Amino acid sequence: MKHMKQIHIGIIGLGTVGTGVARLLVENSDVISARLGAELVFKKGADLDIARDRGMNFAPGVLTTDPYEVINDPEIDIVLEMIGGIDLARQFICRCIETGKHVVTANKALLASHGNQLFRLAAEKGVALAYEASVGGCMPIIKTIRESLVGNRIQAVTGILNGTCNYILTRITREGMSFEQALDLAKAEGYAEADPSLDVDGFDTAHKLAVLSAIAFGMEINYDDIHIEGISEITPMDIEFAAQCGYAIKLLAITKFDGQSVEARVHPTMIPLEDMLSNVSGTMNAVTVSGDAVGDMILYGHGAGMMPTASAVISDVVDIARSIVAGGAMRVPVLSFRMEQIRKMAVKPMDEIFTHYYFRFSAMDQPGVLAKIAGILGDHDISIKSVRQTERKLNGAVPVYILTHQACEAQVKKALAKIAELEVIPQPPVLIRMEAPEEEKAQQQS
């Protein structure tokens, strides 16, 4: 490493991911330098607690409780924001950009809420704001869309982007647990927070989807218009019936662009068992990207965790360092498209979405009930694909399962409201959307 150029790194936040990044910078310094042609030097790290044992030794003076010692250090080239949250992280990143420092972050919530402003500021100052670790953990989904698929018109991105939700649904599927039981197990295993709402209510997935939609379609980040539903209402009964019909239930992030309008939605979804996403289990993540040239391709990997996320952070650091070594500007636009090409796009209202549906009705065991349900669905242009009525009773009512052909969300809502008013339907209907059954894909391609 004699005469090798040094690039100095500062880290704000030495929690789980920040510590993992520091470990990689030290433990894998030789292979990183061999690939980069320069030495990455961890110069300073800021954290509120600098006394805690992090499983590694730091040189004297490296740790500080003052983040501005990192931000204002003239020798530091790249600052890693690893504290999470919104306000302080935004303040620190803006200050770094203003002082001409490149920034790497894994903060999807911040990008979903303030990414448009931060990316514009970085472009104006001629510095990089990199964020690979914000979506999909170690999966290089950002780099794949921005660089590897740059020659494609991206048509859709569909993914399992939250390991906590996927773990819970896996346990319900395999053991027949209730949602509450599976959530308790996830907490005990360390996969769910004490307050799991950000994960199980779908918000974390939506933050990531907002970022993916922007880089896929050249649009400004639009988190506010994403339709979001969580998994707390999913039951073993619905998962069992889905499996009998050849489907699995996953919390999916779905974004599509038809050249005119954008769909962006997060909700539990039934997907065919032959779809690779249906076999993604435990805390793993996976994303399918559909492009006009490549067709469908899938990325799979750990969506969270110390070292997988640290790996994605280091990939951003090395990308920036390569530009520094080459003496040039950042060659890849931050949102894939040139900043002047980024457009404000509205997300299609959920009522205008057309997809397939699964319904479960709790019906009184009386003649003519099914005919009444079918009649209301027909009145709202909802065509039934299959129907099943089981003999087992739930609270005195018989479950009736219906799968539909494509229908309009607005009409579905109206129909279910009418059905719920029937005296023979004592409980609210259950709705789960279904994504792209194979026969519809074939029709779209023909």
Q: Tell me the pLDDT tens digit for each residue of 208-233.
A: 999 999 999 999 999 999 999 999 99
pLDDT at res. 393:
67
The string of pLDDT tens digits covering residues 370-407 is 999 999 999 999 999 999 987 666 667 889 999 999 99
* Cα separations in angstroms, 287 against 138, 159, 234, 339: 12, 4, 22, 25
Q: Are 81 and 12 in contact (CB under 8 A)?
A: yes
Q: Please check if 193 is assigned to a binding site.
A: yes
Q: Please check if 18 is assigned to a binding site.
A: yes
How many angstroms separate the most distant Cα atoms in the chain? 87
Q: Are 63 and 45 in contact (CB under 8 A)?
A: yes
pLDDT at res. 395:
66
Q: Are strands 76-81 and 102-105 parallel, antiparallel or unpaired?
A: parallel
The string of pLDDT tens digits covering residues 288-308 is 999 999 999 999 999 999 999
Nearest to 302 by CA among 422, 123, 140, 88: 140
Q: Using alpha carbons only, what angle is made at residue 301 by residues 173 and 114, rounded to the nearest 5 degrees? A: 100
Q: Are 20 and 82 in contact (CB under 8 A)?
A: no
- Average predicted confidence (pLDDT) for the chain: 93
89 and 16 both lie in a single domain = yes
85 and 145 both lie in a single domain = no
148 and 264 both lie in a single domain = yes
Residue 298: which region, alpha, beta or left (left: phi > 0; alpha: psi -120 to 50)? beta
Q: Please check if 396 is assigned to a binding site.
A: no
149 and 80 both lie in a single domain = no
103 and 178 both lie in a single domain = no
107 and 200 both lie in a single domain = no
Which CATH number do you get for residue 320?
3.40.50.720
What is the pLDDT confidence band of residue 438, given thresholds at 50, 70 and 90? low
208 a catalytic residue:
yes
Percent of the chain with pLDDT over 90: 86
pLDDT at res. 336:
84
Nearest to 115 by CA among 202, 216, 222, 213: 222
Residue 348 lies inside a defined structural domain of this protein: no
60 and 127 both lie in a single domain = yes
Which CATH number do you get for residue 264?
3.30.360.10
The string of pLDDT tens digits covering residues 138-178 is 999 999 999 999 999 999 999 999 999 999 999 999 999 99
Q: What are the tokens at 302? A: 């750990």
For residue 248, give every residue at least 6 positions away whose Cβ sits within 8 Å of its Cβ, in sequence order, or none: 173, 239, 242, 270, 271, 273, 278, 279
Q: Please check if 13 is assigned to a binding site.
A: yes
Q: Which of 43, 101, 143, 208 is catalytic?
A: 208
The string of pLDDT tens digits covering residues 262-284 is 999 999 999 999 999 999 999 99
89 and 123 both lie in a single domain = yes
Residue 57 lies inside a defined structural domain of this protein: yes
Residue 1 lies inside a defined structural domain of this protein: no
DSSP 142-207: HHIIIIITTTS-EEEEEEE--HHHHHHHHHHHHH---HHHHHHHHHHTTSS-SS-HHHHTSHHHHH
For residue 144, give every residue at least 6 positions away whose Cβ sits within 8 Å of its Cβ, in sequence order, or none: 289, 299
Residue 371 lies inside a defined structural domain of this protein: yes
Q: Which domain holds residue 397?
A: 353-445
315 and 433 both lie in a single domain = no
Nearest to 249 by CA among 288, 280, 212: 280
Domain stop point among 302, 330, 365: 302
DSSP symbol at 340? G
pLDDT at res. 444:
52
**Exposed e or buried b per residue across 67-106, where buried means at least 16 C-beta atoms within 10 angstroms of its C-beta:** bebbbebeebbbbbbbbbeeeebbebbbbbbeeebbbbbb
Residue 213 lies inside a defined structural domain of this protein: yes
DSSP symbol at 304? S
What is the pLDDT confidence band of residue 442, given thresholds at 50, 70 and 90? low
Radius of gyration for the chain, computed over Cα atoms and rounded to the nearest angstrom? 24
Q: Is the pLDDT of residue 1 over 50?
A: no
DSSP symbol at 344? -
The pTM of the whole model exceeds 0.75: yes
Q: Please check if 353 is assigned to a binding site.
A: no
The string of pLDDT tens digits covering residues 311-337 is 999 999 999 999 999 887 677 888 888
Nearest to 156 by CA among 251, 278, 292, 43: 292
For residue 145, give every residue at least 6 positions away whose Cβ sits within 8 Å of its Cβ, in sequence order, or none: 154, 157, 212, 215, 216, 289, 336
Which CATH number do you get for residue 425?
3.30.70.260
Residue 346 lies inside a defined structural domain of this protein: no
Q: Please check if 394 is assigned to a binding site.
A: no
Domain total in the chain = 3
Q: What are the tokens at 347? A: 């997300």
Q: Is the pLDDT of residue 310 over 80?
A: yes
162 and 244 both lie in a single domain = yes
Residue 153 lies inside a defined structural domain of this protein: yes
Q: Please check if 12 is assigned to a binding site.
A: yes
DSSP symbol at 233? T
Residue 392 lies inside a defined structural domain of this protein: yes
For residue 251, give every residue at least 6 positions away whose Cβ sits within 8 Å of its Cβ, in sequence order, or none: 160, 162, 165, 166, 169, 202, 205, 230, 231, 266, 267, 268, 269
381 and 279 both lie in a single domain = no
126 and 178 both lie in a single domain = no
pLDDT at res. 62:
95
The string of pLDDT tens digits covering residues 62-119 is 999 999 999 999 999 999 999 999 999 999 999 999 999 999 999 999 999 999 999 9
Q: Are 171 and 182 in contact (CB under 8 A)?
A: yes
